[in-house]
């Protein structure tokens, strides 16, 4: 039996492929105009560029910085502090610290912004204290930003009352807290009193007796609160009945009615006794203002003989 042998021959074909690279080009407009940047700052020294106008190319990146913050006024009580920058036609449009911006407008501005602060001091008259509220302060003073609201509170010691604020900001006694917006350096004074109505009765005694420390005569009875308190009377209870009783009984209390004695003073009426002769001299005076007086003619003189060891005389109107 014959065997058939099959032989397969594999022929390899090598193919060479060359890689091809394609280059794509994108074209667009380029702005060849001058880009104008104006930099301003009211205080400090600006650099890179300096304050003023500079010319730059399209989409330029501009670096700017300011030195000299804070800047003090000659008085030393007003200062200006760098707050940051704001721009128009710049990216970013605002920021703090150094400005590193791209110009996006043909005409752009970069403005350095500053805040103004005034040195505000405070003091007290009487016994009490001033407490700053939500304020950074040193001793009895603080740098307060202009156009911002600031808050002080008056706290009296026991027995004292706030009678008001004065100085740069004036209020009445009811304003324990004041809110102020400074426009200049100033000193603020809080005044405290232990006798705000001036009636001579201290606040602690007014409170003890129920009297009003702001009123001289709490019950309006004609008697001073201090007088009533000293006499054991109540400053809150009408005591005018006592006055009426005394006026209605002048003899009991050794009083003279208002028409009994007008004005007796040495030099206006003079009685002299020499031996048995008595002399009475009366001088009529006149005044336009009840302050300055002058003689209204010559004095009137009467003389008579005094008999006996004891005699009494009086002068009365003939009408």
Distance separating alpha carbons of residues 154 and 162, to the nearest angstrom: 7
pLDDT reading at 45 higher than 90? yes
Confidence of residue 8 (pLDDT cuts 50, 70, 90): very low
Who has greater pLDDT, 262 or 257? 257
Report pLDDT for 200.
Answer: 94
Q: Is 215 exposed, middle or buried (0-12, 13-18, 19+ CB in 10 A)?
A: middle
Taking 90 as the threshold, does the pLDDT of residue 85 lie above it?
Answer: yes
**10, 89, 241 from 94: Cα distances, Å:** 76, 11, 79
- Give the pLDDT band (50/70/90) at residue 308: low
Q: Which two tokens stand for residue 304?
A: 């008579």
Whole-number mean pLDDT of the chain?
Answer: 84
pLDDT computed for residue 245 by the predictor: 82
At 46-55, the pLDDT tens digits run: 987 778 999 9
Out of 176-185, 189-198, 299-308, pick the least confident: 299-308
- The yes-or-no verdict on residue 128 having pLDDT over 70 is yes
pLDDT at site 270: 57
Q: Compare 318 and 241 and report the one with higher pLDDT.
A: 241
Q: What is the band of 214 on the pLDDT scale with cuts at 50, 70, 90?
A: very high
- Specify the range with the lowest mean pLDDT, choosing from 22-26, 114-118, 281-285, 299-303: 22-26
Question: What domains are defined for the chain?
Answer: 35-115 (no CATH), 203-240 (no CATH), 259-319 (2.60.40)
How far is residue 216's CA from residue 227's CA, in Å, rounded to a whole number? 10
Integer CA distances (angstroms), 48 to 37, 96, 101, 210, in order: 12, 16, 12, 74
Instruction: Answer yes or no: is pLDDT of 262 > 70.
Output: no
Share of the chain above pLDDT 70, in %: 81
Please tell me which of 13-17, 74-78, 269-273 the model is most confident about, judged by mean pLDDT: 74-78
Name the range with the highest mean pLDDT among 59-63, 163-167, 263-267: 163-167
Check whether 305 has a pLDDT greater than 70: yes
- The reported pTM is 0.64
Q: Kindly state the tokens that stand for 143.
A: 């740098």
């Amino acid at each position: 039996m014959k065997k058939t042998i099959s032989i397969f021959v594999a022929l390899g074909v090598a193919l060479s492929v060359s890689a091809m690279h394609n280059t794509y080009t994108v074209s667009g407009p380029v702005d060849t105009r001058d880009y104008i940047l104006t930099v301003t700052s009211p205080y400090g020294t600006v650099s890179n560029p300096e304050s003023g106008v500079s010319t730059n190319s399209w989409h330029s990146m501009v670096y700017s910085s300011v030195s000299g913050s804070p800047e003090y006024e000659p008085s030393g009580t007003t200062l200006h502090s760098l707050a940051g920058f704001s721009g128009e036609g710049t990216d970013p449009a605002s920021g703090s610290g150094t400005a590193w911006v791209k110009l996006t407008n043909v005409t752009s501005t970069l403005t350095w912004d500053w805040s103004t602060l005034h040195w505000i001091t405070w003091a007290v008259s009487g016994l009490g204290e001033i407490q700053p509220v939500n304020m950074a302060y040193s001793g009895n003073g603080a740098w307060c930003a202009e156009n911002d609201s600031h808050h002080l509170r008056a706290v009296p010691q026991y027995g004292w009352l706030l009678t008001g604020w004065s100085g740069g900001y004036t209020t009445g006694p009811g304003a324990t807290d004041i809110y102020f917006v400074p426009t200049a350096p100033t000193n603020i004074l809080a005044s405290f009193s232990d006798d705000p109505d001036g009636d001579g009765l201290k606040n602690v005694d007014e409170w003890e007796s129920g009297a009003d420390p702001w009123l001289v005569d709490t019950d309006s009875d004609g008697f001073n609160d201090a007088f009533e308190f000293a006499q054991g009377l109540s400053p809150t209870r009408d005591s005018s009945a006592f006055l009426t009783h005394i006026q209605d009984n002048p003899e009991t209390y050794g009083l003279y009615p208002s028409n009994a004695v007008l004005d007796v003073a040495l030099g206006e009426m003079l009685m002299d006794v020499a031996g048995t002769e008595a002399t009475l001299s009366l001088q009529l005076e006149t005044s336009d203002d009840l302050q300055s007086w002058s003689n209204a003619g010559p004095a009137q003189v009467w003389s008579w003989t005094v008999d006996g060891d004891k005699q009494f005389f009086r002068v009365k109107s003939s009408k």
